[in-house]
Amino acid sequence: MNSNYLKKILLENDIKSIKSKINILIEENHIINPIIKDDMFKLLESVGKVLYYPIKDNVCAFYIKIDNNHFKENIIFINTFMPYEIQIFAAAHEFAHIIGIAGDHEELLVEDKIFNYVFDSVENIDKNELLANYFASELLVKDIILESQLLKMKINKLDSITIEDIIRLMDIFLFPYKPMVLKLYCISKISYEKYKELININCNNSIFQLQNRLGLCSRNNELTRIKSFSNFIDLAINSYEMTVRTYDKLKYVLKLFDLTPEKLGVKKKLPKHLSKEGLEEIPYDL
């Protein structure tokens, strides 16, 4: 690792510990493909209930822990209106908090702060956020795998990598631009001067245009707009079938996920003829 970088806040033991825990995580979860990509979501779903939903906001993700007498669960939100590469990175970041790599605390992760751990801002960053981001970067792009890929691309000299090469790496790992530049700096493939030059390039214009020109990173930039929340739909239907929820309420809930009862094979129940006593037992809010 470049001696000028994360050691300002992260100790060598922090870095070794993260890499060790990642190796254990890969072994325990029987992860065969060393390039995780969107398998990250499966890992996240193994430690909590994940709500995937598109909102036009700068919130990338958030995580809350519910712990009471009736319910105990980690709830994670992923904004699917964000580019897919951001969704994946945010998922890895929140995963780090949940499994205790970084402080296990609730947080709201916004787009302008998710990559706010670059060289110039490192002194202002919370160590827990730096740990979570370092974990996300190492899990999604392991140093040893990145170096192997660079060898395949015949990139072995300092500062010999081009922007086109970086975009190819982004496409291979389904990984964002700025963290990739930072990874290259940390493994001493680019100098500080080159790092400064690359990190200041406008991702929304220059990088995006070059990606289109090269025909790469289409998945990186996809706004998936997925709407899903664990087994929530099944629970809603069960609730209706047990007459806890009305048909209209079921329709309303399903509409949030672009679904209808008909699409799921749920039919409206015929009204039952109840006695006067039965009518009195029906809750007023149904």
Q: Is 179 within 8 Å of 187 (Cβ atoms)? A: no
For Cα atoms 130, 131, 132, give the angle at the middle one, nearest 5 degrees.
90
Sequence-distant (6+) residues with CB within 8 A of 97 are 63, 103, 104, 105, 107, 128, 132
State mean pLDDT over 87-91: 98
Mean pLDDT of 83-105: 92
The sign one gets for the Cα dihedral 37, 39, 45, 47 is negative
Q: What average pLDDT does range 39-47 have in this prediction?
A: 96
Q: Record the pTM.
A: 0.86
Task: Look up residue 81 and give its two tokens.
Answer: 């209106």
In tens, the pLDDT along 218-268 reads 999 999 999 999 988 988 888 888 876 688 888 998 999 999 999 999 988
Structure tokens of 35?
A: 């390039």
Report the side by side order of strands in the sheet with 107-110. Answer: 107-110, 59-67, 72-79, 49-53, 228-229
Across the chain, mean pLDDT equals: 87
pLDDT-derived band of residue 38, with 50, 70 and 90 as boundaries? Answer: very high
According to the model, what pLDDT value does residue 1 have? 46
At 168, list the tokens: 């190819």
3-class SS of residue 160: coil
Name the DSSP class of 36: -
pLDDT at 145 over 80: yes
Residue extents of the structural domains in the chain: 6-214, 233-281
Distances (CA, A) of 143 to 11, 22, 135, 251: 17, 12, 12, 48
Average pLDDT over residues 190-212: 92
